[in-house]
Amino acid sequence: MARKRFDTFSLAFLDVMSCGFGAVILVFLIINHATEVEFQNVNRDALSEIRRLDYEVETGDLNLAEIRQAIEATRKRIENAQQRRLTITDTLDTRRDELTLMQAETLARIEHLNQLKTDLEAREKDVERLQAEAEEDEGSNVRVFVGEGDRQYLTGMKIGGARILIAVDISASMLDDTIVNVIRRRNMDEVRQRAAPKWQRTIATVEWLSAQLPLDSEFQIIGFNTEAKPMLPESAGGWLEVSDADALNDSIEAFKEIIPSGGTSLENLAIALGDLSPLPDNVYLIIDSLPTQGTRKPRGSTVSGRQRMSLFRDAISRIPPNIPVNVILFPMEGDPLAAAAYWDLAQISGGAFIAPSDDWP
């Protein structure tokens, strides 16, 4: 009987190996399934935690954005508030400065007002004193002159002296303030010439001066154009008593009858002034322009400004010294040098100078 051949990979061996391999696989499957279940459980918890953390992160990001926006808005509000604070501070400083200035001005005004009150009280006392003196002297004036509306005027021209001369320009230029109107009025009838506004002002000025004459003084009224004549011819070279109401009134009435005409000779007036005996101690000169001739008529029909100044100087040189000459000037068109010349005359002689308004006296 033949012996059987031994084979390493026999059926039994393969069965054993298959069973072993299947057992290993079974064990692996059992172990791997438990691990997967455990891993799945672990992953599920971690995933939940991750999702929760992601949600918190997202929520945090949203909250952070809102917080950042709130911070930016707050920063802008703070900047705006600071800007407003600076503006308010500047405005407040300005208001404080203005208040300080207003307080200073108020104090200055109060001080000025108090000063004005003090001055007013002083003036009222002066008025009361003058009224008392006027009441004492009531009835001492021979003539009375009241301006329009019963006004009183402060001229700085004191009417005083023992012998008072009122010298009035009665040349044609006293008809008006302009050369054209002088020529027009010179060709009108006598009634219209006497009614000329400038001449009526001249008459009113003479009346005003005569009303201010002291009762214990003497006077003379001389009208001059190319000649110089007293209003009352019989009083030539002498004086009339102010207390003589008839003489004063007659002189004024005679003056009102004059019609301005001819040129202006201030030199002839100076000669007539020197012929008065005794000499005046106060002269009131009513005039409107520089002289147009000397003691004689000029050769030509016109006189230049330089010639008129020369005639003025010649006339002034013939006025006796130490006699105040008070000038009342009614300015004439085209004679700009007159005001300065007569102002010099008043200052040099110790008199006063006024160029009154149209409604004076």
What one-character-per-residue DSSP string does 120-152 give? HHHHHHHHHHHHHHHHHTTT--SS----GGG--
Q: What is the DSSP string of 154-208?
A: --S-----SEEEEEEE-SGGGG-SSHHHHHHHHTS-HHHHHT-HHHHHHHHHHHH
Instruction: Provide the residue type at 256 as one letter.
Output: K
Confidence of residue 47 (pLDDT cuts 50, 70, 90): confident
Percent of the chain's residues with pLDDT above 90: 47
Q: If we measure between CA atoms, which residue out of 210, 271, 207 comes closest to residue 240?
A: 210
pLDDT tens, residue by residue, 142-200 = 555 444 433 344 455 678 889 999 999 999 999 999 999 999 999 999 999 999 999 99
Q: Give the burial string for 306-334 (b: 16+ CB within 10 Å, else e).
A: ebbbebbeebbebbeeebbbbbbbbebee
> Which is higher by pLDDT, 297 or 203?
203
Mean pLDDT on 79-91: 90
> Would you list the domain boundaries of the chain?
18-138, 148-354
Mean pLDDT on 337-359: 91
- Name the CATH topology of 148-354: Rossmann fold (3.40.50)
Tell me, what's the pLDDT at 2?
A: 53
pLDDT above 50 (res 140): no
Exposed/middle/buried for 294, CB within 10 Å: 0-12, 13-18, 19+? middle
Tell me, what's the pLDDT at 46?
A: 77
Tell me, what's the pLDDT at 315?
A: 94
Tell me, what's the pLDDT at 116?
A: 86
Maximum Cα–Cα distance across the chain: 219
Check if the beta carbon of residue 198 is closer than 8 Å to that of residue 174. yes
CA distance 272 to 274: 5
Model-level pTM?
0.60
pLDDT above 60 (res 292): yes
